[in-house]
Each structure stands twice: as C-alpha cells, then as structure tokens.
Chain A
Amino acid sequence: MLKKLLTRLKKFIFEVDQLSRFSVRMILSLFGRPIYLAETMEQMYLIGIGSLFLITLTGIFAGQGMALQFSMELADFGSKNYLGRIMVLAIVRELGPTLTALMVAARVAAGITAEIGSMKSSNQLDALLAFGIDPIRKLAAPRLIALVVMVPTLTVACDFIALMGGWVIALFISHISTTTYFSAVNARLTFGNVFIGLLKPFIFAFIIAFVSCYKGFTTSGGTKGVGRSTTESVVISSITILIVNFIITKVVFTFLKGYL
C-alpha cells in the first residue's frame, strides 16, 4: 500500500517536473524567430469566435440563475436593491473567470491535446523536426498567445452577458428597476474587482495552454493514448483552474483587501 502510494507520488513529482520544464520551453519559444503570425491569428479566431456561443449561453444562464437565487434571498431581508452589487462580486470576481476558463478548458484544451496528440502518434511532430521546424514554436506558442488574449476577452464577454442576464431577472421577476440594478452594479465595479476579474483569466489561460499542449506533446499509445491524454488534459486543467482560483482569491483578500 505504502509502496504504491510512493510510486504514485514519484510519478506525480516527475509529471510536475516535466510539465514545468515544458512550460518554460513554451514561454521561451515566444521570443525569437520565426513568429507564426498566421497560425496565431487562426488560433485566436478558433478559440475566441469559436467559443463565443458557448460562453454566451454559459453567461446568460449562470447570470440568471444567480440573480434568481440572490434576489429571493435578499428579498427576505428587504435588500433586493443590492442585487447588482452581489451580482458583480459573484460574476466579475468568481463565476465569470472560472466558468469561462472551465468552458474553454472543456472545449479548447480537449481540441489542442487531441490535435497535437494525433500529430504525435502519426509522426507528424517528428516530420516537423525533420524539416528543421521547432514544433513547440510552431504549434504551442501560437496557442499560448491566442489563449492569453482570448480567455480574458471571453471572460469580459461572459461577465457582461451574465450581468445582463441578471438584469432581465431583476426587471421582470424581482421587479427591481433598471436604474437601481445598474447603479448597484456600477457601485461595485471598482478597480480591485475588475483587476481580480481580469487577473484570473490571464493566469487560467496559461494553465490551459501549458496542460493541453504538454498532454498533446507527451501522448503515447496510439488512438487510445490520444483519448486518454485528451481526458487527462480537460480534467487536470479544470481541477487546476479551481484550485488556482481559490489561491488567487485568498492571496488577493490577504494583500489587496483595501482595493476591493
């Protein structure tokens, strides 16, 4: 039992070490030439525009669900006019970044791992090397840039849509006026809240890029291996996002409480 546990621990430490080294290589590949601009733009389109519908749906229903719950609870205390404030805290600080990142992890991380993993198992990555092309610079760097640009952008979109979803509930179900709702929203859209709401997706983007590319590049075992890597990529990205989300929240509450 203890031996099994030790073996697992060793394997975990080895994986973390490999992932860290790979992440450093990915970051280094952002500097120097060649720069694959066309690939980067294509990835931005695929990740950004491709995920927009999913993020819209997520934003609308998450926002409406939250608003419905909060407004009923706040009504008991006669404070439903504060709905906008609570919505900003819940959406901008927590749910917007987390839900967006989880959706992108589910959709994009799976795609990245499957694509690179298939290339690995059919020797296409070796073919790139044989042509004198660095596969990390060619495949991983454009995806990293695209994620770092698009995940915060999608988060802003998700936040906006969720707040609008909340407004619909406020107006038609909770009977809170538009002015009341939006002035409450405006009151809590402080620098600190917006900062934390943008810092999180920025960090989540790195997590998704590192994990999905690493899992793709280390795929082995043919088609079955691609499936396994894809699943692991989504699971590891999602869990890491949730853990890191908590850590960021804790760190921000400890050190930047005055700005919130």
Chain B
Amino acid sequence: MIRLERVTFGYGAEPVLRDVSFRIAPGESRVIMGPSGSGKSTILRLILGLDYPWSGHVYVDGRDISSMKFKELQQIRKRIGMVFQDGALFDSMTIGENVGYYLFEHSRLRENEIEQEARQMLQFVDLDQDILDRLPEELSGGMRRRVAIARALLSTRPKLMLFDEPTTGLDPQATQNVLALINKLKEVEQISVIIVTHQIADAFKLADKFVVINQGRVVFDGDFEQLRTCETPEVVEFLTPFRNSIGEVVKRHFI
C-alpha cells in the first residue's frame, strides 16, 4: 500500500530524511517514532504528496507519487485521510462546516443532507451534536482533534489515515479518548493507520509494528518484540526513558 524507497528530502540545504526506506502492507498499521526534529512528520507529508523527495520514490497503492502532476496527486490525496498535529481545522468555519467540508466541495448533496452526515460522524467520534454551530476556537484541544478525525473520515471514507502527533498537548483523559478512537478506526472500520508520535507510551497502544527514525535515518523497523530486544545504540538511547511503558506492554501481552 505504502512504500518509501531510498527517500532523501530536506527543507533547506541540509536533508531532513536520508535514504529512508520502509513499506506498509494493506491493512497494516504502523507507528513512526523518534525524537523531535528527526523527520517523522516529513514522512507523512511525503506520503500525502505535500512535498516531493529530492531523490528516491514514494509509492501509494503501487503508484509512484514522487513525480506525479498536481491533478493526479489530488486524486491520490482524496483516498487518504490526514489528521494534522493541531487538527488544522478551518478556523473561520463552524464545526459542522469543517466536518462536512469535503462533501460541500466535492458532492452534490444538499446542505441538510451534509449536516446530517456531519452529525452522524460527530456521534461516531463521541462528540455532542450540539457543537455543530460552534467555532473551533471554542473547543478544547482533545475535542478539536476528534473533530479533525471526523472531518478526515467523512471526506472519502479513506482506507488509510495518517495521524501527526495525535495526542501531543492533550490531557490524559483526552489522550485516552483519541487513542480509543484510533483503535476503533483500526478494529471496527478496518482502516490502516500511520501514526507519527514521540509519545512512546501511546505508541504501544496504537500499533504492533514500529519504525524508529533518528536524525533522518530509519534505525529500526519491526514489531514490538524486536523493538524490545533491539540493541542498536540510537534505539536503546531513545527507549531508555520509557522502560516502564515497555514493561507494562510486556506484562499486558506476554505474561
């Protein structure tokens, strides 16, 4: 479904990602971890075609998007749901308009039909329908994140969703809600998810397979057990502060 092949990319003169390669099969979910500034979010931007790699290839559903023209790319983007780090809700629109935005733009549905769809989607993400007429600034961070998920879901009913730091800046309760929602998407809706996070404790609750990025390079790509026993210095250094979280996962899954 997604394949990155020797991708190198940067914003200035220095590359942010160097020779990054990994693949995600259909139906699989993956957490991309790494310290801040290691290039995790850049990977999502490349998968969505928001940036083009300097060298290497990005394949989505077998098609190389790294040399695609704008219009072709727009068709690919329509099949992927993206939840940006801060939700990226349109701040001058109401929650209802945000959630139903894709349908407003791309469907011939009437306004009341779109509103109905938006209501259902808000219900799916466990939000009250009475927030429909409120502005994003009136909601808490966790609610905004769930609205962003609802908006992405209502767009094209995607089979792949990308999450950029979905729990960063949220309180423990909001974090649990968002994590539960992502798991619901995976298990109930059978949607593949790629999650970028530096919150290790959350990462283990979201996927069984992980990619660890350090200074723009993939230093680990494998499952939990391989991660736990990995002796690569960068991985060990990155995971050391989170040994308790790893211990909890071991208890939960292996004991």
Which residues does A use to contact B, with CB under 8 Å?
A: 34, 118-119, 122-124, 126-127, 129-134
Is B91's CB within 8 Å of the partner chain A?
yes
Are B84's CB and A126's CB within 8 A? yes
Q: Mark B56-89, 1 if CB is under 8 A from A, else 0.
A: 0000000000000010001101101110111011
Are A123's CB and B88's CB within 8 A? yes
B77 contacts which of A34, A124, A131 (Cβ < 8 Å)?
Answer: A131
Are A131's CB and B88's CB within 8 A? no
Is B90's CB within 8 Å of the partner chain A?
yes
State A133–B45 Cα separation when bound (angstroms).
Answer: 16
Are A123's CB and B74's CB within 8 A? no
Residues of B within 8 A of A133 (CB): 74, 105
Are B102's CB and A123's CB within 8 A? no
Are A123's CB and B48's CB within 8 A? no
> How many Å from the CB of A42 to the closest CB on chain B?
11
State A122–B102 Cα separation when bound (angstroms).
Answer: 19
Is B42's CB within 8 Å of the partner chain A?
no
Are A132's CB and B75's CB within 8 A? yes
Residues of A within 8 A of B86 (CB): 122-123
Are B84's CB and A127's CB within 8 A? yes
Q: A127-B84, A129-B77 are in contact. Are A122 and B101 (CB under 8 A)?
A: no
B78 contacts which of A119, A131, A134 (Cβ < 8 Å)?
Answer: A131
Are A131's CB and B155's CB within 8 A? yes
> How many Å from the CB of A132 to the closest CB on chain B?
4
Are A130's CB and B82's CB within 8 A? yes
> How many Å from the CB of B11 to the closest CB on chain A?
9
Residues of B within 8 A of A124 (CB): 88-91
Residues of B within 8 A of A132 (CB): 74-75, 77-78, 105-106
Q: A131-B78, A132-B77, A133-B105 are in contact. Are A122 and B88 (CB under 8 A)?
A: yes
Interface size class for chain B?
Answer: 20 to 34
Are A127's CB and B88's CB within 8 A? yes
Which residues does B use to contact A, with CB under 8 Å?
A: 45, 48, 50, 70, 74-75, 77-78, 80-82, 84-86, 88-91, 101-102, 105-106, 152, 155
State A126–B83 Cα separation when bound (angstroms).
Answer: 11
Which residue of chain B has its CB nearest to the CB of A34? Answer: B105
A134 contacts which of B70, B81, B89, B152 (Cβ < 8 Å)?
Answer: B70
> How many Å from the CB of B160 to the closest CB on chain A?
12
Are B90's CB and A131's CB within 8 A? no
Residues of B within 8 A of A134 (CB): 70, 74
For the complex of A and B, the 6 pairs showing the least CB-CB separation, nearest first, are A123-B88, A127-B88, A132-B78, A132-B74, A130-B82, A123-B84
State A132–B82 Cα separation when bound (angstroms).
Answer: 12
B50 contacts which of A118, A119, A129 (Cβ < 8 Å)?
Answer: A129
Residues of B within 8 A of A131 (CB): 77-78, 101-102, 105-106, 155
State A148–B45 Cα separation when bound (angstroms).
Answer: 35
State A124–B74 Cα separation when bound (angstroms).
Answer: 16
State A133–B85 Cα separation when bound (angstroms).
Answer: 20
Are B77's CB and A126's CB within 8 A? no
State A119–B89 Cα separation when bound (angstroms).
Answer: 9
A126 contacts which of B50, B80, B81, B89 (Cβ < 8 Å)?
Answer: B50
Residues of B within 8 A of A127 (CB): 82, 84, 88-90
State A13–B163 Cα separation when bound (angstroms).
Answer: 38
State A34–B91 Cα separation when bound (angstroms).
Answer: 23
A130 contacts which of B75, B80, B85 (Cβ < 8 Å)?
Answer: B80
Residues of A within 8 A of B106 (CB): 131-132
Residues of B within 8 A of A118 (CB): 91
> How many Å from the CB of B73 to the closest CB on chain A?
9
> How many Å from the CB of B243 to the closest CB on chain A?
34
Residues of B within 8 A of A119 (CB): 90
State A123–B41 Cα separation when bound (angstroms).
Answer: 12
> How many Å from the CB of A140 to the closest CB on chain B?
15
Residues of B within 8 A of A130 (CB): 48, 50, 77, 80-82, 152
> How many Å from the CB of B89 to the closest CB on chain A?
8
Are B88's CB and A126's CB within 8 A? yes
State A129–B50 Cα separation when bound (angstroms).
Answer: 8
State A124–B105 Cα separation when bound (angstroms).
Answer: 15
Q: A131-B102, A134-B70 are in contact. Are A122 and B78 (CB under 8 A)?
A: no
Which residue of chain A has its CB nearest to the CB of B164? Answer: A123
- A-B contact list, 11 entries, CB within 8 Å: A118-B91, A122-B88, A124-B89, A124-B91, A126-B48, A129-B48, A129-B50, A132-B106, A133-B74, A134-B70, A134-B74
State A127–B164 Cα separation when bound (angstroms).
Answer: 12
Residues of A within 8 A of B50 (CB): 126, 129-130
